[in-house]
């Protein structure tokens, strides 16, 4: 399944890499695609994920989780 979240604060490819790495480490996540201009983070997972897990990963990377 796939969910798209909005993350703010990403300004460059390094930011995209940091967010992708943290979100990809969440249990159940199989793919992460980030669109830098819009801040859209599309997460593919093998099962339903709690949004709080994604929020925590985004914040761990140092960015702001702005919603689903």
Q: Which of 7, 18, 54, 65 binds its own copies (CB under 8 A)?
A: 18
- Tell me the helices (H) and strands (E) count for the chain, helix number first: 2, 4
Residues near its own copies (CB under 8 A), total: 5
Beta strands in 1-68 (DSSP E): 2-8, 29-35, 40-45, 64-67
Q: How far is the CB of 15 from its own copies (least distance, A)?
A: 6
Q: How far is the CB of 19 from its own copies (least distance, A)?
A: 11
Which residues here bind its own copies, judged by CB under 8 A? 11-12, 14-15, 18
């Amino acid at each position: 399944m796939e969910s798209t979240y909005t993350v703010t604060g990403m300004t460059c490819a390094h930011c995209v890499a940091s967010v992708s790495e943290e979100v990809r480490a969440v249990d159940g996540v199989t793919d992460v695609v980030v669109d830098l201009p819009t801040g859209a983070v599309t997460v593919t997972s093998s099962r339903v994920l709690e949004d709080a897990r994604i929020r925590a990963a985004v914040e761990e990377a140092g960015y702001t989780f702005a919603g689903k």
